[in-house]
Amino acid sequence: MTKENQQVNNGLASALSLDEQSINSMNNPSQIYKNASPYILSLHYIPLANTYKSNGFAATAVDMPVADAFRDGGFEIDSDTLSPDEIQQLEEKMSDCNDVEVLKDCLRWGRLYGGGCILVNTEQKADTPFNPETIKGKEVEFLAVDRWQCIPLASSLYLAEQFMLQDNLHNEGKEIIFDKSRVFTFTGKTQPYYLRNLLQGWGASVFEDIIPQLNEYLKANSVILELLDEAKIDILKISGLSDLLMSAEGESVVRRRVDIAAANKNYKSMLTMDANDDYDQKQLSFGSIDQMLEKIFLLICSCLRIPYSKIFGRGASGFSSGEDDLENYNAMINSDIRVPATKILKQMIDIRCYQLFGRKIPDLTINWKPLRVMSEKDQQEIETQKINGYIQLLQAGILSPKQVAEKLAVEKIVALSDEEINALSDEIQAEYGNFNDLIDAER
């Protein structure tokens, strides 16, 4: 595979090829300057899109942290001013409108391109400031786009008062202007001022700081493919080959001789030759390639802060259980995904509250679910401890039976309807003998 073919077949490889000026700028005596490329991959969205499409590990590095951040629903909505029925109504509305999926798309494009947006599409004019007071009972749609589809109409993201949406799929290529109050942005990894200025205030792609490792990965794969073609080579030594090639029909005779030998060998698993001819076979060994690839994979995983098993599907080896890697991975999800997503998610939920209830809920909170996956046994033990704690509060007179039932229903430990909860009173113990019996019966 030639270098040119490799660049054509792989978008990222062509994106990472440096021009002569860039290479000359890197020829500095300092080792830091030699390894610091001035090339900004985040500004070239087509190679990034081709990489996301063509390379499985690249798509996994973008999608998996976002998917894991919202695993098992991802979060729970809590509010003292909203009843359980209203919270359920809000959750159902968000589920019907695929709000979480829209947010996940925004986060994915932010990781891939360094910027993603969510647009608020209502019956109001898109280029006017958004007024949530007028959307009760009306249609509201959230749209997820990337930074190259939603362009700030200013020199930087921070100064933009309006954004231009380019949508060739739904709007026949027409450009739509959105007021900044209708645009929620998620930027990728924050860069220093110089690079932030070149990126117009957006962040960088997750692949920006692992360019050397990605080059090693792509080069290693290309070399392996070439070696596989030459892993087993048959060598046929023909007596008087040089003199034979000098004749007029020498090339055709040699070609026919080789074809006959190959066909005879494939058909009968044996080879008949002249006494002066010779046959040999060379076979390459790939014993050290696996170790070389593993080191490249580990470098990629360490830069992405994603465990080896998550990216390349190989579990922990040796004495490691992999829990330390998962803890570091979960910390990355909390800091890089959930923290910036919370602000956008809160804005989306506030708009849904205006749409459903006509008001903003001031005490509404978002509680993210734990990332660590517990076994059924561990989950049962935690639920039992919670139930015992509520029973103790009940017996001490701190909580009433109705309050305990509400808390157990909110935490989804016990399946109690609103009618059953409202029917509870302080005389419940006289009917059931013990509140614990009711919980056991409902479970």
Q: Which residue has the higher pLDDT, 367 or 430?
A: 367
pLDDT band per the 50, 70, 90 thresholds, residue 437: low
pLDDT band per the 50, 70, 90 thresholds, residue 378: confident
Residue 420 has pLDDT above 80, yes or no: no
Average pLDDT over residues 227-254: 71
pLDDT digits (tens, 9 = 90+) for 90-130: 999 999 999 999 999 999 999 999 999 999 999 999 999 99
Transcribe 131-189 into DSSP letters: -GGG-TTS--EEEEEETTTEEESSSSTTT-SEEEEE-TTTSTT-EEEEEGGGEEEEE-B
Residue 351 has pLDDT above 90, yes or no: yes
pLDDT value at residue 172 = 64
Q: Which of 52-61, 182-191, 198-207, 356-365 has the lowest mean pLDDT?
A: 52-61
Q: Radius of gyration of the chain from Cα atoms? A: 32
What is the percent of the chain with per-residue pLDDT over 70, rounded to a whole number? 73
What tokens were used for 112? 């891939």
Average pLDDT over residues 254-282: 65
- For the chain, the structural domain boundaries read 3-208, 215-289, 376-442
- Report the alpha-carbon distance of residue 297 to residue 308 in Å, rounded: 7
**155, 189, 326, 331, 365 from 371: Cα distances, Å:** 39, 22, 9, 9, 18
- Report the alpha-carbon distance of residue 265 to residue 259 in Å, rounded: 10
**214, 222, 223 from 3: Cα distances, Å:** 16, 10, 11
pTM across the whole model: 0.68
pLDDT value at residue 442 = 55
